[in-house]
Structure 1
Amino acid sequence: MKLKAVTTLVLVGAGGMAIIAATGVWALSGGLYGCTSKDEKLAPTLASLSILDVHPSQTQPRDERYSGCDEDDGFAYAGQYYRLTTPRADVVTFYRQAATEDGWRLESGNPSPSPAPGSLAVDISALCFEKPVAGTTAHLAVWFPSDLGDSPDDYGLEVTASHDGTAWC
């Protein structure tokens, strides 16, 4: 009887260790951190949104469109930079109209969202819109790198979304 009890204890212990190891592998591979496979598949959908092609006639696209999944915060994203060749206020006015016409709802607007000196930049979107996309809420940000002290001749459009609700402008 003692041998049977010891064998049972060893088998239960080995099974428990296997479960702990499997849970660790799952957690390290994105189960608790990073992007889900659903959000990784969402990035190309975001990159194909027509709003990323819309821009004032005086501006020009810069570089290639980018997309991916933010492993730190676990959301899909896609964006496009444009050369700023028209006044900033005209760009903001243009996207207020263009995004609304494309079904985006204005969530917030701050024409000059520069962070205070020495503070953490939380939201540098001049405009933030939202719209349902692929079964979740997508957020469209119109932002200016110059608000962070970078690229005074550019502005960007970025769409973020996540199936677990962790995306924002």
Structure 2
Amino acid sequence: MKPRRAVTPLLVGAGGLAVVAATGVWALSGGLYGCTKADRELAPTLASLPILDAHPSRTRPEDERYSGCDDDDGFAYAGQYYRYTTSRADVLAFYRQAAEEDGWRLESADSSPSPAPGSLAIDTSALCFEKPVAGTTAHLTVWFPSDLGDSPGDYGLDVTASHDGAAWC
């Protein structure tokens, strides 16, 4: 009788350890941190959006299109950098029209979103648009690295989205 009493607590303890271990594996593989499988699969969809190919005639693509999933914040992203030889105002006017024609809705606009000296850059988007993409809300940002003191003559288009709502401009 005594060995039988010892087996039950051992089995319950082993089962409890298995649950704890499985929970740990789940949490480390994206359950509590990082990107979900759905968001990882969303990145190529974002990279194929036609708006990332749209640009004013006096601009040219820089480098390759990029995409992926931000494990720190848990959202999919895609983007493209461009070099411009036209005015910043012309770039912004172009995207206001091109994004609207492609079904994007203007969420916010700040033609010069430079952070205050000595402050942290929170939002450097000159234009921010929203649009439903693949069952979630995607955010399109037009931004200028020069607002952060970097790369004058360049601008970027970024699209972010997440199935859990963690994406923003």
TM-score class normalised by the smaller sequence: over 0.9
Aligned counterparts of 1:117 and 1:24: Cα–Cα separation in 2:
43
Question: Shift of residue 84 of structure 1?
Answer: 1.7
Partner of residue 82, structure 1:
82
Question: Shift of residue 5 of structure 1?
Answer: 1.9
Aligned counterparts of 2:104 and 2:28: Cα–Cα separation in 1:
36
Aligned counterparts of 1:73 and 1:124: Cα–Cα separation in 2:
17
Matched residue SS, 2:66 = strand
Matched residue SS, 1:91 = helix
TM-score, normalised with respect to structure 1: 0.98
Question: Where does 1:12-91 land on structure 2 (aligned, <5 Å)?
Answer: 12-91=12-91
Partner of residue 3, structure 2:
3
Matched residue SS, 2:132 = strand
Aligned counterparts of 1:5 and 1:117: Cα–Cα separation in 2:
70
Aligned counterparts of 2:36 and 2:166: Cα–Cα separation in 1:
12
Aligned counterparts of 1:121 and 1:16: Cα–Cα separation in 2:
46
Matched residue SS, 1:116 = coil
Matched residue SS, 1:163 = coil
% identity of equivalent residues: 80
Question: Where does 1:84-103 land on structure 2 (aligned, <5 Å)?
Answer: 84-103=84-103
Aligned length: 169
Matched residue SS, 2:164 = coil
TM-score, normalised with respect to structure 2: 0.98
Aligned counterparts of 1:163 and 1:118: Cα–Cα separation in 2:
34
Point out where structure 1 has 5 or more consecutive residues left out of the alignment.
none
Q: RMSD of the TM alignment (CA)?
A: 0.7
Point out where structure 2 has 5 or more consecutive residues left out of the alignment.
none
Aligned counterparts of 1:89 and 1:7: Cα–Cα separation in 2:
76
